[in-house]
Chains A and B, each alone.
Chain A
Amino acid sequence: MPPPPIGKASELDTPGPLRWPADPGDDAQLDHGGMGVSEDHNDGAPDQGTGALGIPHESLVAGDGGGAGVTAGNMGAQPQSPCDQGTGAPGASHEGLVALVGGSAVAAGQHTLTTGLVQNFAEDRGTYSIARGEAIFEASAHSTEPGGAVAAADTFLVVSHADFIIENERSYGGHGSNDAWAVSELDYVAIDIKGWSPTDGPMVIEWHQLGHHWQTCGNEPPYDNNAYVMALAEAHGAGSLSATLTNALTFENHFSFVNAMGMVAV
């Protein structure tokens, strides 16, 4: 019997104008082997039953209607705890090494671009396990109105049952009168030595580099609204697990958003 799913994507309970596919696209698991193929095709016919096609849709953004709904105040990069150790009390670390890395990027303005890349790898090497990965998220925005461009990017790392963690996080950003941009990068290595743990808990080495300067030449301002994101996770070891999640969202003339995470466990 296959184990239960790690977590189903939450269904969006949004009545009204929103559209989504009638078939959420879940894979039917085959208990006894074989191959399954399913397809869902929708050519936009108004009787698809998943939304009111042809009807102008109301705004999706709640609030006071004061514009893009995103301000510099609530979009500012939030420095996160660089390494959230879930191990608890020190002791022999017989548990598996688990590492989750990810991030998000959001840009608001008439022309926006957000990108994200997550890679996470882990391997059980017998006497020890090692995990390494990186997350790179970028956001840039351009607005014809002064002060109308906002960009923020963030990355995070969560590691459990590791003895050594080395993490390097870099965050940069800047803005002009009509432009804003932000970059957040994180890479790490975590090692779990089986049957041994540091007496004082995991040894963590962190670097944080923060920057705030004007965007130099070389980066073209975005055009239209784009969001690209990709995540990879790979794990080698008995009973290992890998999982990835990505989201991309664009709103014409307003903003772009991406987030992603990759988890490995060995």
Chain B
Amino acid sequence: MLDNNKLFVMLNAKSDALGDVTATTTSTKTFAGAGNAGSHTVGLAVATAFAEGKTAAAPYTDATTNWLGSGGDLASSHSGNVSYHSPYGPTPVSLSISSTAVTTWGLGDVWPASPFDYGH
């Protein structure tokens, strides 16, 4: 039987693009382990999509990241999405970027401060 407080984290990233020139990348990383200050997990996901098309057939992009976690006493997450869409001109372009970072901590009954609370 798994311990109730075992840490679990999952990150996923998706990107797609349509156009005459398309490029997509996705990257996800997760970590779960124990340190001196307790157990913690870290997850990062980045998705980018770029497309260049024609005025008659505008390029399309989409980038999405998401996370799912369980266990621990505290979760901190930060997600950002940037999209740039220029359907006009001889070479319309579309760009989408999505990123997500998440941390969870298992420190018993202590509520620590989130690392994202410092200057972010």
Question: Would A30 and B85 be within 8 Å (CB), given that A23-B79, A246-B12, A249-B30 are in contact?
Answer: yes
CB pair A232–B24 under 8 Å, yes or no, is: yes
Q: What does the 1/0 interface line of A26-56 toward B look like (CB < 8 Å)?
A: 1111111111111111111000100101101
- In the assembly, what is the distance between CA of A39 and CA of B99, in Å? 9
CB pair B28–A238 under 8 Å, yes or no, is: no
Question: Would A232 and B25 be within 8 Å (CB), given that A25-B100, A248-B10, A251-B8 are in contact?
Answer: yes
Q: Please indicate the chain A residues that have their CB under 8 angstroms from the CB of B30 in the complex.
A: 226-227, 248-250, 256
Q: Is A88 an interface residue (CB 8 A)?
A: no
Q: Please indicate the chain A residues that have their CB under 8 angstroms from the CB of B43 in the complex.
A: 248
Question: Would A224 and B31 be within 8 Å (CB), given that A56-B4, A242-B22, A247-B10 are in contact?
Answer: yes
Q: Is A12 an interface residue (CB 8 A)?
A: yes
CB pair A57–B5 under 8 Å, yes or no, is: yes
- Which residue of A is nearest B80, CB measured? A39
Q: How many of A's residues come within 8 Å of B, CB to CB?
A: 85
Question: Would A57 and B71 be within 8 Å (CB), given that A2-B60, A32-B87, A243-B24 are in contact?
Answer: yes
Central interface residue in B5, B61, B69, B117, by most chain A CB within 10 Å: B69
Q: Is A197 an interface residue (CB 8 A)?
A: no
Q: Please indicate the chain B residues that have their CB under 8 angstroms from the CB of A12 in the complex.
A: 68
* Cβ distance B82 to chain A, nearest Cβ, rounded Å: 5
CB pair A246–B13 under 8 Å, yes or no, is: yes
CB pair A57–B22 under 8 Å, yes or no, is: no
Cross-chain contact of A226 among B31, B94, B120 (Cβ < 8 A): B31
Contact size range, B: 35 or more
CB pair B22–A241 under 8 Å, yes or no, is: yes
Cross-chain contact of B73 among A53, A59, A245, A251 (Cβ < 8 A): A53
Q: Is A108 an interface residue (CB 8 A)?
A: no
CB pair A44–B74 under 8 Å, yes or no, is: yes
CB pair A18–B70 under 8 Å, yes or no, is: yes
- In the assembly, what is the distance between CA of A239 and CA of B19, in Å? 5
Task: Give the secondary structure class of B's interface.
Answer: strand
- In the assembly, what is the distance between CA of A76 and CA of B36, in Å? 35
Cross-chain contact of B78 among A39, A239, A244 (Cβ < 8 A): A39
- In the assembly, what is the distance between CA of A247 and CA of B8, in Å? 14
Cross-chain contact of B62 among A1, A5, A44, A254 (Cβ < 8 A): A5
Cross-chain contact of A243 among B17, B104, B117 (Cβ < 8 A): B17
* Cβ distance B23 to chain A, nearest Cβ, rounded Å: 4
- Total of A-B residue pairs, C-beta within 8 Å: 288
CB pair A56–B32 under 8 Å, yes or no, is: no
CB pair B82–A36 under 8 Å, yes or no, is: yes
Cross-chain contact of B17 among A18, A21, A241, A245 (Cβ < 8 A): A241
Q: What does the 1/0 interface line of A67-91 toward B look like (CB < 8 Å)?
A: 0010000000000000000000000
- In the assembly, what is the distance between CA of A56 and CA of B109, in Å? 10
Q: What does the 1/0 interface line of B71-94 toward A look like (CB < 8 Å)?
A: 101111111111111111000001
Q: Is A214 an interface residue (CB 8 A)?
A: no
Q: Please indicate the chain B residues that have their CB under 8 angstroms from the CB of A225 in the complex.
A: 31-33
Q: Is A217 an interface residue (CB 8 A)?
A: no
- Which residue of A is nearest B29, CB measured? A228
CB pair A37–B18 under 8 Å, yes or no, is: no
Question: Would A245 and B66 be within 8 Å (CB), given that A65-B1, A252-B34 are in contact?
Answer: no
Q: Can you list 6 pairs linking A and B with CB atoms under 8 Å apart?
A: A9-B12, A12-B68, A29-B85, A54-B73, A233-B22, A239-B57
Instruction: Point out residues on A near B: beta carbons under 8 Å.
Output: 1-3, 5-9, 12, 14, 17-21, 23-44, 48, 51, 53-54, 56-61, 65, 69, 223-254, 256, 258, 260, 262
Q: Which 7 pairs from chain A and chain B are nearest by CB?
A: A224-B33, A243-B16, A59-B2, A2-B60, A248-B28, A250-B32, A252-B32
